[in-house]
Amino acid sequence: MMAGRTRGRPRLGADEPNRREVILAAARELFADRGFERTTMRAIGSRAGVDPALIHHYFGNKDALVVEALRPDVDPAEVFGGLSAFLPQPGTEFITRVLHVWEDDGPRRDRAVALLRIAVTHPEIGEALSVFFLGIAHTALGECVSDDQRDLRLALIAGQIVGLVLLRHVIRQPDIAGAGLDDLAVRVGPVIDHYLSAQDPDVSGLRDAAR
């Protein structure tokens, strides 16, 4: 009598290191062809030639898989290193680098735009993408930001990046989508500098007026 297949972790072959990348490649193709909602784990497994259980082993669920498959393959330390050399105003250089991450690699941009579209309506994916953008802000500008309300400042910078990318590449607002990279960097850079070091405004008068 043949022993039945045991439950739990799927049995992996000698080519285990490659299977993860094969799954990601299959997921990218299907998400691009069918969209997020119509792509199933079973279909990804079929395209990749693996048991769907192996996909769950590596990635957990479809939300986690789409984040891993579509997020920009960017090393923030490599791309954004050395911005402290541009103090006291590193914002323009930072935005220039952010924009070039999106502009210089078409396939990477297309994957990231697809992920942004999904994130708008899927909170778990949106949270993972938020962590990614926050990671960029922390890595790039962690040495440049003031200590007071440090996390809030970096979160505002991450929000500025997300808003700019959404308007340029997803919503395609004509003025921003049609603007040159240098022009955008010069205009948005000072906003980043403000978030990095500006003193908190005195809002006591506004609070009193609101009572």
Burial pattern 130-155, b for ≥16 Cβ within 10 A else e, equals eebbbebbbbbbeebbeeeeeeebbb
Q: Give me the pLDDT at residue 29, please.
A: 87
Q: What is the pLDDT of residue 15?
A: 55
**154 vs 145: CA distance, rounded Å:** 8
Domains and CATH numbers, the chain: 16-69 (1.10.10.60), 76-204 (1.10.357)
Residue pair 48/62 in contact (Cβ under 8 Å)? The answer is no
Q: What share of the chain is helix, strand, coil (3-state, %, to 5)?
A: 70, 0, 30
H-type helices in 38-149, by residue range?
41-48, 52-59, 62-70, 76-80, 91-103, 106-119, 123-141
What is the pTM (predicted TM-score) of this model?
Answer: 0.76
Token output for 170: 């997803």
At residue 146, the pLDDT reads 95
What pLDDT was estimated at residue 204?
Answer: 47
Q: What is the pLDDT at residue 194?
A: 96
pLDDT attached to residue 5: 39
Other CB atoms closer than 10 Å to residue 208's CB: what's the count?
Answer: 8
The tens place of each residue's pLDDT in the chain, 211 residues long, gives: 344 433 443 444 445 658 889 999 899 888 878 888 889 999 999 999 999 999 999 998 898 898 888 887 788 889 999 999 999 999 999 999 999 988 888 888 888 888 888 888 888 888 888 888 999 999 999 999 999 999 999 999 999 999 999 999 989 999 999 999 999 999 999 999 999 998 865 434 445 555 5
Return the structure tokens found at 152.
């809030």
Question: Which amino acid makes up residue 121?
Answer: T
pLDDT at 200: 66
Q: What interhelical angle do 62-70 and 16-34 show, nearest 10?
A: 90
User: Angle at CA 198, nearest 5°, toward 185 and 183?
Assistant: 10
